[in-house]
Amino acid sequence: MPDILFEKSFQINKKDFVHAGEASISAKNLLKSLQMDAGMIRRASICAYEGEMNVVMHGGEGHLALAIEKNRIILEISDNGPGIADTEMAMKKGFSTASDKFRELGFGAGMGLPNMKKNADEFELSSRLGEGTRVRMAFFTDAAV
């Protein structure tokens, strides 16, 4: 097992749309301060933000957790919200249950999960109805591949 250099967890508050995205910005700044590979930071930050927005728009109380290794970032975003009834459907581009309120604010195009899958080197979505949702992603340095 590679050594973990750094672990950090950020709280994501339920329904707190105004502050939604702050955890991801903090995560991005942390990765930058650790001088991780720029391409990897960009991909991980976008995924963190998409995931955080999902927790606030669709999920419940949640966390964004980072485990940073020398050449790898593990990002896990989990919440105790309603869960996803059909994960295959949720992964489809364009599928969204977002309310009009979020659509007016520029979200709800049904692009978040597919975009996370595209940007991550490893992607795993798991959800149980009534219990919550977890997205676990891994990113490798662009140089390492």
Partner 1 sequence: MCIIRKTAHEFSYGFPMHCNGIEYKNMKLREIQDILDASLIIGEAHLDREVHTCGASDLMSDILARLAEDCVFLTGLTTVHAVRTAAISGVGAVVFVRNKIPPEDVIAMAKEEEIPLFTSPYSMFVSCGRLHAKGLTGLNGDR
Ligand X SMILES: Nc1ncnc2c1ncn2[C@@H]1O[C@H](COP(=O)(O)OP(=O)(O)OP(=O)(O)O)[C@@H](O)[C@H]1O
| Residue of the chain from 24, 45, 119, 133 that contacts ligand X (CB under 6 A) | 133
User: Nearer Cβ to partner 1, position 81 or 112?
Assistant: 112
> Per CB under 8 A, which of residues 17..56 are in contact with partner 1?
18, 20-22, 24-25, 28, 39, 42-43, 45-46, 48-50
Interatomic CA distance for residues 97 and 104, integer angstroms: 14
Alpha-carbon gap, residue 62 to 115, rounded angstroms: 20
- The rounded radius of gyration (Å) of the Cα atoms in the chain is 15
Q: To which residue do tokens 């109805």 refer?
A: 129
| Helix-strand-coil split of the chain, %, nearest 5 | 35, 30, 35
Our CB check for Mg ion shows the closer of 70 and 103 to be 103
Q: Which does 58 bind (CB under 5 to 8 A by kind): Mg ion, ligand X, partner 1, none?
A: ligand X
Contacting positions for ligand X (CB under 6 A) = 50, 54-55, 57-59, 79, 81-84, 90, 95-98, 107-114, 133
